[in-house]
Structure formats: structure tokens, C-alpha cells
Chain A
Amino acid sequence: MAKNSDVLLSVRNLSTHFFSREGVLRALNNVTFDIHQGETLALVGESGCGKSVTSQSILRIVPSNGRIVSGEILFKKDEKYIDLAKLDERGALIRSIRGGDIAMIFQEPMTSFSPVHTIGNQIMEAIQLHTSMNKDEARRYAIKLLKKVEMPHAEQQIDAYSFNLSGGMRQRAMIAMALACSPRLLIADEPTSALDVTIQAQVLELIAGLQENSQMSLMMITHDLGVVAQIAENVLIMYLGECMEYGSVDAIYHNPKHPYTVGLLASVPKIKTHFKEQLVPIHGNVPSLYERPSGCPFHPRCKHIINGLCDRQEAPVIEVEPRHTVKCFLYSEGKHP
């Protein structure tokens, strides 16, 4: 098991809220998790669960109507921990971390590349911003990166525009750009959900291979429980801005504790031989964040609701086994459902 000093990123009680005319939107509520060096952590949840806001908070790119209201984001740089939550959003330090130590790849590479610059120029810009390479060196390095992500004809494709490339190739170019400064943490926000399955398999394999060779940590944000099972070591299940359950991928899939995790797993159709086996959906709908239920946010949809408790108080975080925590009343004081 990894020692404490291996922790690369430690998010402690992070709360990010958005302020609008309709009221305060509590997008993240006391989110706590660690990422160790070389670890792959998957953040899983449905729309509105705050998985994207978590990555925006870490990189300090929360939209202007939002703010980190409390909590710490400790990131290890040069053997010291820096609290990213306290940094100036536009300061030099966060700008050197953003894209340098922590890189990010997005879901839709079409909208995240500029359509009026070649992908080569955009990758070179990232390189030159963070290193002292000159233009020729940066170009050679960019070609090397494109080859590393298995882009065919890298020497020619470097002068292509993003619209010349197919979805899979754009995602490869995006990964090449993210790797430009050998980041220690890569945040991947739904990197394959816009891709076809055969292309998705290629890209996932590529990410896993790159990570193995570099000791890079990976924070994978996704709603696809299949992808998570295939690549993650640890999993954090989120619902309406809260961490519901955290554990190793094996514990989450084979010994899930939180009713939400159990429900989520039961509602995924499996390709195995279970034809026509009835799926067990979670009843009700994911509420809007403006109508966030009191107490445990999952209580209106929960089968095991304890009236007068779940709808009133915030659930405690309980360690059910080492490195497996669940935020649910069912497990307090040794109670079992």
C-alpha cells in the first residue's frame, strides 16, 4: 500500500458553489480524496454530480460565477505541498502548474482545439510556454509526441487543422498536447465518450500504455462503468456534489455498500449471457442542483431510507474496510441493511 508521502494530490473537504440570481448552487460539498503517484482514480457519476467541477476546481478554471468556498487542494510540487485553492487564479504559480504539472484532456476535442491554428502550432505553443525550447526544437518535439500517441504520418499531420482529423485522431492530438510537459497528473474528462467503441478501445489502450511508462497519475472522469472497470485502480462515486463511496475498483464492483452504487451497477446492461434479464433501475430522476434534497442527497430515490434521519442529517463517512469508505447511515454503529 502506498505511503502517505506518495500522495500527489490531496483534496480535503472541498466545496465549490455557484452564485446566480436563482440562488446558491452547491456543486461540490465536502469532497475529499487522494491521488497517489502512478495511481488511476476514476470519478464516476451522472450528470450534475460535480465530477467536472472537481477538475475545474483543481485547475482553478471554475467559471466566473463560481467560487471555492472552503477546503484545501494540496498538490505536491518540488517535495512541498502547495494549496491550489489558496492561489491567485491568474498568478504565475498556478499558470505553471496548469498545463505543466497537471494537464487535462477534454471530452470533445473538436471544440477544445482552435479551428484557425494547426494542431502543430497549438502543441508547440504549449511546449514553448512551459520550456525554453526554440521553435525548431519545439516542432521536432511535437512530432515526437505525435508519434508517441501513434498518430500515423506525424510529420504531415502536424500541419493539419483539427477539422482535417477524425474524432479518434483529434483525441490523440489532444493527448499529445497534454503530454507536452510530462505532467505528473493527467485529468481526463470523459475522454472517450464521444468516440466509437473500436476507437475508444484504441484510445484507452494508448492512455494506459503511456501511464505505465511514465509514473503519471490519472484522474479519469466518466459515467461509463465499463470503462472504469477496465482501467481504474480506485473509484470515487459521486452524486449531486458529494462523495458517496470510495474504494478499490474490485471493492466497488464486487462489494458495493452505498445504495446508490448498488443501484448504479444493477442498472447497467451487461453484454454477457444474461439476455432478457430484467434490469433493476433506480426509481425517480436525478434532481436539479437547485432542488437539492436535504440530508443525504440520495434519500428520495433510496430503497433503504431511514425516515427522520436520512432526510434531515448529513450522513457520516464510515470506513467499512481499509481504504473503502461510504457516506451512509446504514453502516454507522455496525448496522447493516
Chain B
Amino acid sequence: MTEPLISVRHLTRDFEITRGLSHKKIGTIRAVNDVSFSIQRGEILGMVGESGCGKTTAGRCVLRAIEPTAGEVWIRLVETEEAQNLLQFTPRQLQTVRKDMRLIFQDPYSSLNPRMTIKDILSEVLVTNGLTRSKSDTYYQVATILEKVGLSEDHMSLYPHAFSGGQRQRIAIARALISKPKFIVADEPVSALDVSIQAQILNLLLQLKSEMNLTFLFIAHNLAVIGHACDRIAVMYLGEIVEMADAAAVINSPCHPYSEALISAVPEPDPRIRKKRIPLRGEIGDFLNLPSGCVFHPRCPYVLDICRTQKPELHNINIKEDKEHWVACHFAGSLNLAGIGQ
């Protein structure tokens, strides 16, 4: 297998919980716990999970938008170069790779400055990263990227309020792509949009991905969107990856009980398929009192004694074939779990 573009090892991020005016520390939560994954050049890795599972924190730690507490992020932006650990970069070094690693946010209403015109928003990226030679060059680059995302030169002098949600997300995508990046973290890029607009933006992202040879970490809570857009899926629960494999493998034959429940809970847009749900007991766990053993055991319908005491390692259950299937479950492979089938 070729060397991945990005390889994350044992990524961990703690947050301190404080209370009151004195900010007395009352505990620590581990929002991302020992997360490891790698993304091949040109691949889309989907990260899916429910609110508070740490998917956003993980995505931002990869870019050092939030500083990780521990771990390594090895990047290899140019194929011929050696991989470097992003977490040991000095601020100056970090600045030099910012243009290659960009972030797209969920809410296009709060991620665009309402007091800047579209041209200012987009050219700021070029100026701060030293990617422009002259004013006319800036103008040319802004016009080109606007065209690419389906807007036009005429929109340059307008402010964000003049645009609808879908158009704003196009501007946000243009801002991420104008520096010709290699790696994009897209954090819920379509969940704030209307249904008919979601499909437009998803298609645009996939089209630009192949045109510009991009690599994606695609974070979303909607399994249907993830399944549609991604090559591989990582399922997160309470700060940990519980299953990671090919998109088709996870959705058709999940090997972790949480993935199974998540898939069965997605309402299918077809009244003739009323699925048998695998109801999950209780609520998403609490970071302040993490369960012992397997983090999922209090809600797991297949729980046994070993799950309560021993933490399952994330291990590859597909050793023979080249397609890896990582699962963190004591009974991975021996449970008969239902995916999307006939």
C-alpha cells in the first residue's frame, strides 16, 4: 500500500471542566481518546457519530485548530517528501502548511464575516499565505474559484447577507479551496442546508475533489450522507473509534453493535421499507463518568460480563484480505449483526 497523506496516531484531547467564578477544576473529560487513523491520497474518510462523540474535536486536532493533548499527526503533503509530525511544527512552520490543509464549517451563516465582501473574504486567504503577486492576480484567482463553485464574478462586491444558505456554503468552499489545498476537513458541510440544496453541495464537493485531487476528512452525523460521499467510514462513540472500514462494509455488514444500531435508526426515505429497529437503551454516555470496560456496554444489546470489565482493543478482523476492517468489540466477527441488506 502507498504511504498515506495523513496518518494520525494515538490522538488524545482533554478538556478541563471548571465551575463557578473561581474556575475551580472539577474534572477532566477526554473528548478524543487514543484515536488512530490514516487517509490515503485522494480518499474520503467519513467520520460519523452522535453529538458529543468527539468527531469535531478530532477533526480540528488534526489541523491543530485545537491543540491535541497527546498523539502524533504525520503529514506527507508532497509525495516525494518524508512524513513530518505536524504536532512538532513551530508556529512559523505551521503557517507554511496552513494553505495546504483547510477547514469547511457547518454553518455558513456564522462562518462568513458579515462586514467583508466576498472578494475580501476570498482574497484574505491569498494575501496572508503569500499566494498572490499583484492585485490583478488576486482578482483573477478569486474570479476563477468563484466560477469553480458555481458563482460568478458579479458576486464579488456583495456581502454574505445577499446570499442564500446554499450559496454561502459555496463561498465557504471557495475560501477553503482558493489556496489550492491538498487536504480538507469538512465538518458537517451540508447539515445546515435544505434538502434540495444538500444534494447540490454534495455533488459540488465530490466534483471538486476529483478535479483538484483533494483528500477529505468528512465529518457528519448523517449516515446516509456519509455512505453516499465517503470511501471509508470511521464510527465514533464517546471519543473513540469503535469501527473503521470500507463504507460498503460498514453499512452492509457492520461488526460493532453500535454501528448496527446507528444504521437501523436511520429512517429510510421509502414507506415500503419499514425497518426493524434495534432499539438502544438509554442515552449517549456521559464523559464525566465514563463506563468501565467497553464504553458502549451500558447500551449494548449483546453485553456480556467481559464487556463491563475489559476494554476491547481496536483490532483488524479482516487479516486475510487487503481491505482492513477495524473493530473495537470483544465479539467482533462472531455476532450476527444486520446492515442494510435485502
Contact = CB atoms under 8 A, between A and B. Distances in A.
Contact of B224 (A198, A200, A271, A288): A271
B301 to A, nearest CB: 12
B144 interface: no
B283 interface: yes
Nearest to B299: A198
Interface string B204-232: 00000000000000000111110111000
A201 B271 contact: no
B199 A269 contact: yes
Interface string A230-260: 1010000000000000000110011000000
Interface string B186-204: 0000000011111110110
Given A205-B277, A270-B269, A168 B248 contact: no
Interface in B299-315: none
Interface in B265-324: 265-275, 277, 279-280, 283-284
A130 to B, nearest CB: 31
Contacts of B268: 226, 229-230, 270-272
Nearest to A225: B269
A272 B266 CA distance: 11
A275 B271 contact: no
Most buried by A among B221, B223, B252, B277: B277
Chain B contact residues (Cβ within 8 angstroms of A): what range? Answer: 35 or more
A204 B229 CA distance: 27
Interface in A269-303: 269-283, 285-286, 288
Interface on chain B toward A: helix, strand, loop, or mixed SS?
Answer: helix
A305 interface: no
Nearest to A267: B199
A279 B199 contact: yes
A236 to B, nearest CB: 15
A268 interface: yes
A98 B258 CA distance: 41
Contacts of B269: 225-226, 228-229, 253, 265, 268, 270
Given A226-B266, A227-B267, A229-B268, A275 B197 contact: no
A199 interface: yes
A267 B283 contact: no
A88 interface: no
Given A281-B203, A286-B164, A271 B340 contact: yes
Given A197-B50, A198-B280, A229-B271, A271 B263 contact: yes
Contacts of B273: 229
Contact of B279 (A202, A268, A269, A276): A202
Interface in A126-171: 166, 168-169
A196 B224 CA distance: 14
A223 B194 CA distance: 8
Interface in A215-229: 223-229
A66 interface: no
Most buried by A among B228, B247, B272: B228
Contacts of B270: 229, 253, 270
B261 interface: yes
Contact of A281 (B200, B224, B227, B261): B200
Contact of B196 (A197, A232, A286): A286
Interface string B164-204: 11110000000000000000000000000011111110110
A123 to B, nearest CB: 21
Interface in B234-254: 247-248, 251-252
B195 A223 contact: yes
A38 interface: no
Nearest to B252: A273
Contacts of A202: 279-280
B51 interface: yes
Contacts of B198: 267, 269, 281
B262 interface: yes
A197 B280 CA distance: 11
Contacts of B194: 46-47, 223, 286
B185 to A, nearest CB: 20
A196 B221 contact: yes
B228 A269 contact: yes
B340 A273 contact: yes
A270 B271 CA distance: 13
B267 A250 contact: no
Contacts of B199: 266-269, 279-282
Contacts of A267: 195-196, 198-200
Interface in A156-191: 166, 168-169
A82 interface: no
A264 interface: yes
B271 A250 contact: yes
A26 B273 CA distance: 37
Contact of B272 (A168, A254, A263, A281): A254
A200 B265 CA distance: 8
A272 B251 CA distance: 8
Interface in B143-171: 164-167
A161 B229 CA distance: 41
A46 B195 contact: yes
A279 B203 CA distance: 7
Interface string B53-72: 00000000000000000000
B51 A196 contact: yes
Nearest to B230: A275
Nearest to B282: A152
B267 A230 contact: yes
Given A196-B221, A250-B271, 10 more contacts: A166-B283, A197-B221, A229-B271, A266-B199, A268-B199, A271-B223, A278-B203, A282-B200, A285-B164, A286-B196
18 contacts: A46-B195, A197-B266, A199-B284, A201-B267, A202-B279, A225-B269, A230-B267, A230-B274, A230-B275, A249-B271, A269-B224, A269-B227, A269-B229, A270-B224, A273-B252, A274-B228, A281-B200, A285-B166
Closest 8 interchain pairs by CB? A226-B267, A267-B199, A281-B199, A196-B50, A269-B228, A46-B194, A279-B199, A201-B265
